[in-house]
Amino acid sequence: MAVTLEQAQRVGYTCLKALLRFAFMVANNLVAIPSYVLYLIVLQPLRILDSKSFWYIEGVLFKWLLAMVASWGWWAGYTVVEWGDDVKAVSEDEAMVLVNHQATGDVCTLMMCLQDKGTVVRQMMWLMDHIFKYTNFGIVSLIHGDFFIRQGRTHRDQQLVLLKDHLEKYYRSRNRKWIVLFPEGGFLRKRRETSQAFAKKNNLPFLKHVTLPRLGATQVILKTLVAPQENGTLSGGDRLRKEGKSKGLQWVIDTTIAYPKAEPIDIQTWILGYRQPTVTHVHYRIFPVKDVPAEPEALTSWLYQRFIEKEDLLTHFYETGAFPPPQGQTKAISREMTLSNLWLVAIQSLAFLSGGMWYCLFQYLYHCLF
C-alpha cells in the first residue's frame, strides 16, 4: 500500500519528536542525577550533625527528580484522572500502597500522580525489582533507601529477611511515611498464565486483568511497621505522642491503575512520547490498618479479596470507560490530576544550572591543582 505524503510527514515528525525527547532525557539525566549525588556528598557533615535536616533536604531533591520523570509524560500528554478515596487526607500518616502491575510505566504514573500529595513523594520508600538497581535511576534509589527485591522461589526467604532488616534500619531513621509495593511480583503479561493455573488448582477466582498477589513482602511490612496494639488502641500512645514518635503504619491504600483499552504505557513510550496523548486512570481505596488481619491465612484471604475487587474494577472500567461508584452511591466522582508547567520548568532549569555549576567548579579545581 502506497504511503501518502501526509502519512510520511506524520511519521517523520513523530520520529523527530522522539529523537529530541530522548536527547533531552539523556541531557536531563546527565546533569540531574550527578547533581543530586554531589549535593548529598557535600552535605555529609550535616548528616552527622543533624540527620533529620539532611534527610529532609534529600527528600526535597528526590521529589524534584521524580517530578522531572513526571514531566516527560506530562508534556507528552500522558495525564492522570483519579477516582475513589482522596488520599491527600492521609498524606501525613504512614501508609502502605498496594498497586497492580502492568508495565514499567506504572512507576512513572505513580511518580506523576503523587506529586501533588503533600510530603508523600519525598518521604516514601519504594519496593522494586532488583533490575532497577542497574538503571540510570538506581544510584538515586539506593541513596534514598528504596529496597530492591530479587524475585524467584530460591531467593524468597532470604529477600524477606533482608526486607525486614532494611525497614528496621532505614524506614523510621529517614522519616519515611509511605511504602509502595507491587504484590503481584511482576508484570501482568508475565505472571497471568501462572496465576490462572494456580487459581484453577486451588479453586480460586479466574482473573484476567490482575494476578493473585504474593503474601511475603506485605506480611513483613505489616509485622515490622505496625505499632503494637492494646485493646484496639496504640500501645503507649500518650507517651509516643509526647515524644513525637511514629504511631506506626495506619493505612493501607489499595491503588488500581487502568489504561484505556487495557494498553499500558511502558517507560520507552513515556520517554519518547510517540503514543498519542493518553489519560491513565488511578483508583484509590483506603483501609485502616486495624482492619487488616495479621494471621497469615486471614491476611492471604484479605489480600486476595483486594485483587478480586481490582479485577471487578478493571472489568467495569474496560466496559464503560469509568470506574464504578462506591457502594451506596449512584455516581463515581473523578478528579483530574494537574501539574504546574511553571514549576516543572523551574525544576528542570535548576537541574541544568546545577550541572553547569558543578562543571565550572570541577574545571576550577582542576586548573588549581594542575
Q: Which domain holds residue 268?
A: 5-227+247-369
Establish if 94 belongs to a structural domain: yes
> Which pLDDT tens digit goes with each residue over 254-268?
999 999 999 999 999
Give the per-residue pLDDT at 155.
77
Write down the pLDDT at residue 332.
86
Of 236, 292, 282, 239, nearest in space to 260 by CA: 282
Of 50, 41, 117, 27, give the one whose Cα is nearest residue 80: 117
In a domain, 238, yes or no: no
What local confidence, expressed as pLDDT, does residue 185 receive? 87
- pTM as predicted: 0.90
Amino acid at 10: R
Residue 242, in any domain of the structure: no
Roughly how many angstroms between the first and final C-alpha of the chain, as a whole number? 64
187, part of any domain = yes
Closest to 160 in 3D by CA, of 222, 213, 89: 222
Residue (of 348, 279, 324, 277) closest to 64 by Cα position: 348
Residue 200 belongs to a domain: yes
The answer to whether residue 241 sits within a structural domain is: no
Inside any domain, residue 239:
no
Q: Can you give the pLDDT at residue 245?
A: 61
Residue 237 lies in a domain: no
Q: How confident is the prediction along the chain (370 residues), in pLDDT tens digits per residue?
A: 566 877 777 878 889 999 999 999 999 999 999 999 999 999 999 999 999 999 999 999 999 999 999 999 999 999 999 999 999 999 999 999 999 999 999 999 999 999 999 889 999 999 988 888 888 788 999 999 999 988 777 777 899 999 999 999 999 999 999 999 999 988 999 999 999 999 999 999 999 999 999 999 999 999 999 976 543 444 434 433 444 466 899 999 999 999 999 999 999 999 999 999 999 999 999 999 999 998 999 999 999 999 999 999 999 999 999 999 988 788 888 999 999 999 999 999 999 999 999 999 999 888 888 7
Would you state the pLDDT for residue 20?
Answer: 93
Domain count, the chain: 1
Residue 188 CB partners (closer than 8 Å, separation 6+)? 100, 101, 102, 209, 210, 211
Which pLDDT score, from 0 to 100, does residue 2 have? 61
Q: Which residues contact 169 (CB under 8 A, 6 or more apart)?
A: none
Are 83 and 281 spatial neighbours (Cβ–Cβ below 8 Å)?
Answer: yes
The predicted pLDDT at position 295 comes to: 93
